[in-house]
Structure 1
């Protein structure tokens, strides 16, 4: 770098010299043309040497690094899981692995949601402490995918919520980054005996973490289901990722259909190495995983495949290959981002009767879809269990997020645009020309369900003795210290169907947007 700075200094001095001579001989500028041509030629030569110098230093300075994937078949026995992982990590160290990747749910796979919650720990608990000590002892980096982090908030007032964390530990035992899974796996495939709803016990994250600088380059952290969302990996690439990692516990049916294809696609489109440690085998009578931990290069070639056995795979990662692939195929610079526009489209729909018995998560509460009268891509509007005024309805983000500040710009746009539509609909139904639209953003603001939501209340003249009294009523309407009754499900279904019918008859243009 000193040589590069010296070349740059010489160039700046030549520019200064030429400017000085030009001013000095301003009366005869033509006399400077030979000197100008000489300086320009020398300047080009300097920069050519500079580029060659940087290229040479880059290729010589980036040496291949051995990495390893640990493939596990975890159960509810945390001690046994750790001992198995420790043994395999030590074997990977003997194979000269400098960075070792563990799968999602490396800590345990519970036999039920209740058992999973009971087994969960905090980041400063004994399990992560043991892994930190192991990393320090062996002087290796550890990627721990899918740690069940215990939260302080309780689900249904009984068991703690959890987050699904990817924890990155360096060779000195320090936690370098913690990514909380944002895409939760809520999938029901009856014919394949798949029925998993992660959002019923896991709180989703709200941030894509900036890639962390490591000895194998800038490492982008994902978890399992995240691999199905190309925007996620492209975001990491834009933030400078050289390597993407997706610790996973794919089901057998989805793994057989999509696992390899997804990982190779993410590698090809981002031109990054992709490392995916996986769970394998039968964890309990209800749960089995596909296995096939993979390491893929930026060209989409598979460097290592663990098949379906518990064990380790290794590969050498050469970051010069990342640079080479990106130079040969500069797809990022060819992207026409201005033409793609915002991928969020303001389209609205009414849930079909077939989905009415399905549920969605509204904070810690499960709500049936038969209460939903209008949906957008990222939000939904539904009737209220306890109304301050007739037509008092709610709008929440589909993703469980506690505060307004936790929503992305796209989610903010989506939820408030839906609120505009709902306001128009509810005012028309109730013959109102005004509405109170408000967000109780946090516990101290009166929020009882820890999920950001908008209250839409149609207003009429003299509906309250004092106009602002509505805020007092709203503040305690669901606290039990008033005369407002909790509504029966049958009453809510009737109202929801009436609103759906009104939309179909009077606001069908909304559904065509």
Structure 2
């Protein structure tokens, strides 16, 4: 199955970002991808954390959700909508939410980011918990490819990557592919992005597909990019540095099965 990681350099205007995302999704579909995954905050990178409040949507309705459903239906591909701000019961909070749409345009899974990024090195400061309400549960969904093979897919977002217990939960649930839509800062991405992605692939004997924000943003941020596909042996199969683009690669059920047979580490777990 061919998959695509969509890399973006999102700005502050939702509609501009949606138009850019549509062009990249069309490119992924033309390449033969059956699954395309957008990065975290694909729909908006605001000037302030509180900007998310103005764009939040109720579950099941909204401009961003309609965009994702229409794109999946018209392009006849699975689309994982990076993240978008979703309403909570609190007026001053949002959930940072991943939604999954099948080729019929139906939302089949929702994951609310569990781990909230906090970083302060004296020059850069981030604290997602000020605005974002954390989710609590790991989420997987099943995707049947055009060849009839069923893939189990585990969802995660950005900072989740630093918490291996989440990915072990996905492995226990039988995940074959782990998704990590992200907006890693340039500072933390340069230091840790690739090594963490490859570690999650190796320790869980699963493919990892990680679409990212990558470049200099209108709001002054710089994100690391380097969207990539990693195989269960930890080999980087495809990646892109900075700038918008589409990273594609093929998942092989046979290769996954062979790696797990040759090194049956998942069967040796004691915890």
TM-score category (smaller protein) = over 0.9
Question: How many residue pairs were aligned?
Answer: 265
SS at match of 1:164: strand
Shift of 1:283: 1.6
Q: How does 1:457-472 map to 2 (within 5 A)?
A: none
2: CA distance between counterparts of 1:232 and 1:100? Answer: 22
Q: Which gives a bigger RCO, structure 1 or 2 (Cα 8 Å, sep 6+)?
A: 2
SS at match of 2:209: strand
How far residue 285 of structure 1 moved from its aligned partner, in angstroms, is 4.3
8 A contact 2:9–2:216 mirrored in 1 = yes
Change (3 A) 1:89 1:285: closer
1:257 aligned to which of 180, 191, 194: 191
Match of 1:94 in 2: 30
By how many angstroms is 1:169 displaced? 0.6
Task: Work out whether 1:203 is the aligned partner of 2:109.
Answer: no
Is the contact between residue 107 and residue 148 of structure 1 (CA under 8 Å) also seen in structure 2? no
* Aligned mates of 2:225, 2:161 — CA distance in 1: 15
Structure 2 residue aligned with 1:245: 179
Alignment correspondent of 2:148: none
Distance 1:66 1:285 in 2: 33
Structure 2 Cα separation of the partners of residues 226 and 126 of structure 1:
27
State the match for 1:484 in structure 2.
Answer: none
- State the partner residue of 1:333: 267
Q: Which has the larger radius of gyration?
A: 1
SS in 1 for 2:243: coil
- Alpha-carbon shift at residue 115 of structure 1 (Å): 1.8
1:213 aligns with 2:150: no
In the alignment, is the contact (CA less than 8 A) between 2:45 and 2:219 conserved in 1?
no
TM-score, normalised via structure 2 length: 0.95
Q: Deviation at 1:235? A: 0.7
Q: Distance in 1 between matches of 2:75 and 2:266?
A: 38
Which runs of 5 or more residues in structure 1 are unaligned?
A: 1-64, 156-160, 338-513
Give 1:44-443 correspondences, 5 Å limit.
65-123=1-59, 124-155=61-92, 161-190=93-122, 193-209=123-139, 211-215=140-144, 217-337=151-271
TM-score by length of 1: 0.51
Q: Deviations over 1:284-327 (max 9, x none)?
A: 34422100001000000001101112111110111221111110
SS of corresponding position for 1:284: coil
Shift of 1:227: 0.7
Aligned 8 A contact 1:295 1:315 in 2: yes
By how many angstroms is 1:147 displaced?
Answer: 1.2
Structure 2: which 5+ residue stretches go unaligned?
146-150
Alpha carbons 1:219, 1:243 under 8 Å: kept: yes
Over aligned residue pairs, what C-alpha RMSD do you find?
A: 1.1
